[in-house]
């Protein structure tokens, strides 16, 4: 079996990449002397993948929330629940569905191969029946209702709904009560066979193990499909450049207004690349990080509190920076953020702050190689988004102020969407 050693001379790190004959990518990061191992078995299939091209070239629409539904059901099999099996080995296990991926994982300090066997078995052994699907519809329905009433969840999705006209990132990951009611065991099998094709999947492992032994174990225990369908192509609808709504608001049971301010990017690349990621991370910290003038001003004016945060939210077919927090005057927060970007555009760019943040991100990035979990997370992000984790560090080493300034055009008032969750007024409850 082939083994490619991916090295970084810059940060003196390396990992092993193996491509199984099925197309499955296996990434191994040995950590000699570490007491715990971490594993992820994932697929590049998430909530935005709700339409695909069939063999005739026709677009087939899927029920919203089906990727999340499938994740829930995959833990069940004819010979028992995977969580029960992990409880016997003492491993921690979990799974998650996001907008562009579904991942199944475990961490353990012993019985590594027993736990890896469980992971390989249940992810490759779908078992769906009409009865179990009907039961799960009720369980996920309760989850959807719960999230509908969660202010922090609602303020984010209201922003996404205001930003996008058609892109499925605007749809809640779990779907809706009506959409999950359309899911059957047959649609689950169809989605599994298409999007859980091994050519669309990856395994990431980090910990103290012998790479040859791990690869040999995976090759011997990986269940192969009888009739592989190949990687099914998702279909994304056309999305206008303009935002749908600049302001979205609702009332929920909160003590203080919540806000989420996002900026829509034009011509988002299919896979955000290393320099773009590095430059945006630096720019956001320069604009609103704890060392910025803007952050201090917002605090001094009592416009934000410790709940304030920001993120570069990006996936295989979407990307946008956003800021969120609590504020009695979210519109003023938006105005001050836009004012600061205008200052940068007009030449008032703090190069000393740029350099301090660049060094901070570089140091923090290196520290992420200290735990098996963070290593797996980094390699998973790189695999799903299509970039080189080591090239990311090369970009951090050579990024310039001009690279960062080039992203300022994203921060325009007409591209902004402000979502606000206001407290319920007396008498409205």
Residue closest to 35 by CA, chosen among 124, 110, 129? 110
Q: How far apart are CA 214 and CA 113, in angstroms?
A: 8
Helix, strand counts (H, E) of the chain? 15, 14
326 is catalytic: no
Q: Which residues pair with 90 in a beta bridge?
A: none
Q: Which residues pair with 323 in a beta bridge?
A: 261, 310
Sign for the pseudo-dihedral over CA of 419, 423, 428, 429: positive
From 9, 19, 55, 71, active-site residue: 71
Interstrand relation of 102-108 and 59-61 (parallel, antiparallel or unpaired): unpaired
Q: Is 39 helix (H, G, I), strand (E, B) or coil?
A: strand
Interstrand relation of 201-207 and 25-30 (parallel, antiparallel or unpaired): parallel
Q: Are 391 and 274 in contact (CB under 8 A)?
A: yes
Q: How far apart are CA 32 and CA 8, in angstroms?
A: 18
Instruction: Describe the strand order of the beta sheet including 258-263 as a list of residue ranges.
Output: 247-252, 416-423, 258-263, 319-326, 309-314
Chain centroid, CA 126 distance in Å: 24
Based on the number of CB atoms within 10 Å of its own CB, is 19 exposed (0-12), middle (13-18) or buried (19 or more)? middle
Interstrand relation of 416-423 and 247-252 (parallel, antiparallel or unpaired): parallel
Q: Which residues pair with 15 in a beta bridge?
A: 6
Extended beta strands in 150-271, E state:
201-207, 247-252, 258-263
Helix axes 112-123, 211-221, angle to 10 degrees: 40
DSSP annotation of 234 reads: B
Q: Are 293 and 232 in contact (CB under 8 A)?
A: no
Q: Which residues are catalytic?
A: 71
């Amino acid at each position: 079996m082939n083994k490619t050693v991916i090295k970084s001379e810059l940060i003196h790190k390396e990992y092993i990449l193996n491509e199984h004959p099925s197309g499955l990518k296996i990434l191994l990061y040995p950590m000699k002397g570490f007491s715990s191992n971490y594993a992820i078995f994932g697929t590049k299939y998430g909530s935005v993948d709700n339409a695909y091209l069939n063999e005739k070239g026709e677009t087939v629409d899927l029920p919203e929330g089906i990727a999340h539904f499938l994740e829930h059901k995959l833990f069940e099999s004819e010979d028992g629940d995977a969580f029960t099996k992990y409880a016997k080995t003492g491993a921690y296990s979990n799974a998650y569905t996001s907008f562009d991926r579904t991942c199944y994982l475990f961490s353990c300090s012993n019985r590594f191969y027993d736990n890896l066997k469980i992971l390989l078995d249940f992810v490759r052994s779908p078992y769906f029946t009409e009865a179990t699907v009907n039961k799960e519809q009720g369980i996920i329905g309760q989850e959807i209702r719960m999230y509908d009433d969660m202010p922090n969840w609602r303020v984010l999705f209201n922003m996404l709904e205001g930003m996008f006209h058609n892109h499925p990132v605007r749809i809640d990951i779990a779907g809706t009560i009506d959409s999950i009611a359309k899911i059957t065991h047959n649609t689950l099998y169809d989605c599994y066979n298409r999007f859980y094709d091994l050519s669309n999947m990856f395994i990431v492992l980090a910990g103290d193990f012998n790479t040859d032994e791990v690869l040999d174990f995976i090759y011997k225990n990986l269940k192969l499909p009888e009739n592989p369908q190949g990687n099914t192509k998702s279909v994304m609808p056309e999305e206008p450049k303009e935002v749908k709504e600049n302001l979205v608001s609702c009332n929920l049971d909160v003590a203080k207004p919540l806000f989420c301010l996002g900026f829509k990017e034009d011509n988002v690349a299919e896979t955000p690349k290393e320099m773009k990621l590095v430059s945006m991370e630096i720019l956001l910290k320069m604009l609103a990080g704890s060392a910025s003038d803007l952050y201090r001003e917002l605090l001094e004016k009592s416009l934000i509190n410790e709940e304030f945060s920001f993120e570069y939210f990006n996936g295989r077919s979407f990307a946008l920076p956003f800021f969120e927090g609590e504020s009695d005057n979210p519109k003023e927060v938006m105005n001050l953020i836009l004012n600061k970007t205008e200052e940068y555009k007009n030449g008032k760019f703090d190069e000393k702050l740029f350099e301090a943040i660049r060094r901070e991100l570089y140091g923090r990035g290196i520290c992420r190689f200290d735990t098996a979990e963070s290593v797996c997370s980094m390699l998973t992000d790189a695999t799903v988004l299509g970039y080189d984790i080591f090239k990311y560090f090369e970009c951090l080493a050579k990024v310039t102020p001009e690279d960062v300034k080039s992203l300022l055009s994203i921060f325009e008032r007409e591209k902004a969407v402000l979502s606000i969750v206001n407290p319920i007024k007396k008498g409205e409850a």
